[in-house]
Chain A
């Protein structure tokens, strides 16, 4: 074998992507769970939920708070800055100069970012549940919803530096506003599917009386579909985008 052929062979060696991505997920998941932001969220959330229970807030309010408000906001907070943080702290280079496709590393980072969001969302849903029998359904809904939101906002974060503001706009206008509209339009929002899966429905009022849950297989497919699509789009963009580090 000539020297050139040896080098070509060496350069062509690409390790299996899945084990590398799983390792990268684990590494960053542990890092994320030890970060101050996660600990502050956990503390704040714990205090809020305990206080609301102590003052006798109805379970319905707590459940809505956990699933309709907290789950998307957690997804936004932990998802929107997935690669931006590594860009800002200038550590992105280390991962992106390895023989693993960037799409895999991006997905690994999104899943690692989803870890804290899902942990908090699931814990909030469990604490808010009106009975132990309802808790698993609420927790499952929070997990699926949280994953979809995290992946969606992570993909938005790859395309825009203002992803936090865009995400807040999406949450307030699209999810809370359009999500309360009965019929087809409302079904285009993630929150409708989270409500349907969890059995929460829409609170009282004219819209609440008109609101109808979506069949759970459709809601399940919608949440998983958004998750997969967002991951795929994010991976696609991560492969094609330049990530010049600030100096």
Chain B
């Protein structure tokens, strides 16, 4: 998958809050890869400021848009899809203002959050109708709609009235209408809501594939592990401000004042725990959490990965499991969004 963002970065405010060492600014120059750009965007609804001086650039590939309810995710997607116009700042999609220049929608597909349709139509008719607004004649639109329905695994149900579809089928149909015209940019607002586990897995694969094809895919979701399955590129938003953007692992390493927890599974955890405390200066604490497992905290994940198996080997032990629950998206989210 190609690089999805110009850089891994945390907002200035965030970096000050977290360590004071990490900084990153959106460059003034628009990179060739940027598909979606927001610069200094603020948007209020009455007294509520949904987005505040928001800067963001998103390039090709899948980007997860994360944040708690009311953080401004949907507002951002609505700005990028031309449903809203910013109070201040500029929003550009492929260099165009999506609110004023509807031609941008030739290259953009939107899967909205709401579970609403022209209920009496069949799924195929619904997708065909919307595809016709892209200038395709009846036959071409139908072929494209059928292909899109096939892509989301809905061929068997495409002639079912939407009102008779399950939530998961409706969700797939909604994604089909967003991709039927083969857009370069796909905005998906909570695309997995209501899908059963099998459908979720298939849709995650589909979304990842759309990104791998070079499209710019932005996925807003609350379900962190699903986002993690689609991409490692994330944008974290809180209170209408950009908290961080970039690769999950790199972002996590920027939080250098936050220790990693590591769980080590081994036959005799107690001697290993003592040795770890004795020999490794980067290990802050160790506790035996089970007969065959210990948990330690360290500030240096990379060194721990190297040192622990070596020490275990010196004791004649084998490390059977080595996991860091703090190196994933959930912990990143917890540090950057919830704890902040």
Instruction: State whether A99 touches B84 (Cβ < 8 A).
Output: no
Asked if B201 is an interface residue, CB under 8 A from chain A, the answer is no
Instruction: State whether A94 touches B85 (Cβ < 8 A).
Output: no
Complex CA–CA separation, A93 to B117 (angstroms): 10
| Segment of B97-105, B223-231, B257-265 engaged in the interface with chain A | B97-105
Q: Which residues of A lie under 8 Å from residue B35 when comparing CB positions?
A: 7
Complex CA–CA separation, A27 to B134 (angstroms): 15
Chain A interface residue number, banded:
35 or more
| Segment of B106-114, B146-154, B328-336 engaged in the interface with chain A | B106-114
Contact of B135 among A3, A4, A7, A16 (CB under 8 A): A16
Instruction: State whether A99 touches B94 (Cβ < 8 A).
Output: no
Asked if A161 is an interface residue, CB under 8 A from chain B, the answer is no
Given that A7-B35, A11-B107, A93-B83 are contacting pairs, would A23 and B132 also be in contact in the complex, using a CB cutoff of 8 Å? yes
Asked if B32 is an interface residue, CB under 8 A from chain A, the answer is yes
Instruction: Give the shortest distance, in Å, between B29 (CB) and chain A (any CB).
Output: 13
Contact of A11 among B74, B94, B136 (CB under 8 A): B94
Instruction: State whether B95 touches A97 (Cβ < 8 A).
Output: no
Which A149-189 residues sit within 8 Å CB-CB of chain B? none
Interface SS of A by simple majority: loop
Nearest-neighbor residue (CB-CB) of A35 within chain B = B120
Instruction: Give the shortest distance, in Å, between A245 (CB) and chain B (any CB).
Output: 6
Given that A7-B184, A90-B116, A242-B85 are contacting pairs, would A99 and B93 also be in contact in the complex, using a CB cutoff of 8 Å? no
Complex CA–CA separation, A90 to B95 (angstroms): 28
Instruction: State whether B134 touches A15 (Cβ < 8 A).
Output: yes
Q: Which residues of B lie under 8 Å from residue A208 when comparing CB positions?
A: none
Given that A4-B32, A94-B130 are contacting pairs, would A99 and B83 also be in contact in the complex, using a CB cutoff of 8 Å? no
Instruction: State whether B135 touches A20 (Cβ < 8 A).
Output: yes
Asked if A243 is an interface residue, CB under 8 A from chain B, the answer is yes
Instruction: State whether B85 touches A7 (Cβ < 8 A).
Output: no
Nearest-neighbor residue (CB-CB) of B82 within chain A = A97
Given that A91-B118, A98-B134 are contacting pairs, would A14 and B103 also be in contact in the complex, using a CB cutoff of 8 Å? yes
Q: Which residues of B lie under 8 Å from residue A245 when comparing CB positions?
A: 83, 112, 114
Q: Which residues of B lie under 8 Å from residue A100 when comparing CB positions?
A: 102, 133
Q: Residues 82-104 of chain A: 1 if any B CB is under 8 Å from the residue's CB, otherwise 0? A: 00000001110111111111100
Complex CA–CA separation, A20 to B161 (angstroms): 24
Instruction: Give the shortest distance, in Å, between A159 (CB) and chain B (any CB).
Output: 18
Which B56-76 residues sit within 8 Å CB-CB of chain A? 74
Tally chain B residues at the interface, Cβ within 8 Å: 38
Complex CA–CA separation, A14 to B133 (angstroms): 10
Instruction: Give the shortest distance, in Å, between B127 (CB) and chain A (any CB).
Output: 10
Instruction: Give the shortest distance, in Å, between B194 (CB) and chain A (any CB).
Output: 15
Instruction: State whether A243 touches B102 (Cβ < 8 A).
Output: no
Complex CA–CA separation, A97 to B117 (angstroms): 14
Instruction: Give the shortest distance, in Å, between B182 (CB) and chain A (any CB).
Output: 9
Instruction: State whether B85 touches A99 (Cβ < 8 A).
Output: no
Given that A8-B94, A16-B135, A23-B133 are contacting pairs, would A97 and B116 also be in contact in the complex, using a CB cutoff of 8 Å? no
Complex CA–CA separation, A15 to B132 (angstroms): 10
Q: Which residues of A lie under 8 Å from residue B82 when comparing CB positions?
A: 96-97
Asked if B144 is an interface residue, CB under 8 A from chain A, the answer is no
Nearest-neighbor residue (CB-CB) of A243 within chain B = B83
Instruction: State whether A91 touches B116 (Cβ < 8 A).
Output: yes
Instruction: Give the shortest distance, in Å, between A1 (CB) and chain B (any CB).
Output: 13
Q: Which residues of B lie under 8 Å from residue A97 when comparing CB positions?
A: 81-83, 105, 108, 110
Which B161-203 residues sit within 8 Å CB-CB of chain A? 177, 184
Instruction: Give the shortest distance, in Å, between A25 (CB) and chain B (any CB).
Output: 12
Instruction: State whether B107 touches A27 (Cβ < 8 A).
Output: no
Q: Which of B106, B129, B130 has the most CB of A within 10 A?
A: B106
Instruction: State whether A20 touches B106 (Cβ < 8 A).
Output: no
Contact of A10 among B81, B99, B102, B107 (CB under 8 A): B107
Nearest-neighbor residue (CB-CB) of B115 within chain A = A90
Asked if B78 is an interface residue, CB under 8 A from chain A, the answer is yes
Complex CA–CA separation, A247 to B96 (angstroms): 27
Instruction: State whether A99 touches B116 (Cβ < 8 A).
Output: no
Instruction: State whether B102 touches A99 (Cβ < 8 A).
Output: yes
Instruction: State whether B114 touches A99 (Cβ < 8 A).
Output: no
Instruction: State whether B112 touches A93 (Cβ < 8 A).
Output: yes
Q: Which residues of B lie under 8 Å from residue A98 when comparing CB positions?
A: 102, 105, 130, 133-134
Given that A23-B133, A98-B134 are contacting pairs, would A93 and B102 also be in contact in the complex, using a CB cutoff of 8 Å? no
Asked if A34 is an interface residue, CB under 8 A from chain B, the answer is yes
Instruction: State whether A27 touches B129 (Cβ < 8 A).
Output: yes
Complex CA–CA separation, A102 to B133 (angstroms): 12
Instruction: Give the shortest distance, in Å, between A83 (CB) and chain B (any CB).
Output: 13
Contact of B114 among A23, A90, A96 (CB under 8 A): A90
Instruction: State whether B93 touches A11 (Cβ < 8 A).
Output: yes
Instruction: State whether B106 touches A10 (Cβ < 8 A).
Output: yes
Instruction: State whether B102 touches A24 (Cβ < 8 A).
Output: no
Instruction: Give the shortest distance, in Å, between B86 (CB) and chain A (any CB).
Output: 10
Given contacts A90-B116, A95-B130, A99-B104, 9 further A-B contacts (CB under 8 A): A10-B106, A11-B93, A14-B103, A15-B135, A94-B177, A97-B105, A98-B130, A242-B85, A244-B83
7 contacts between A and B (CB under 8 A): A19-B135, A90-B112, A93-B81, A98-B133, A100-B102, A244-B83, A245-B112
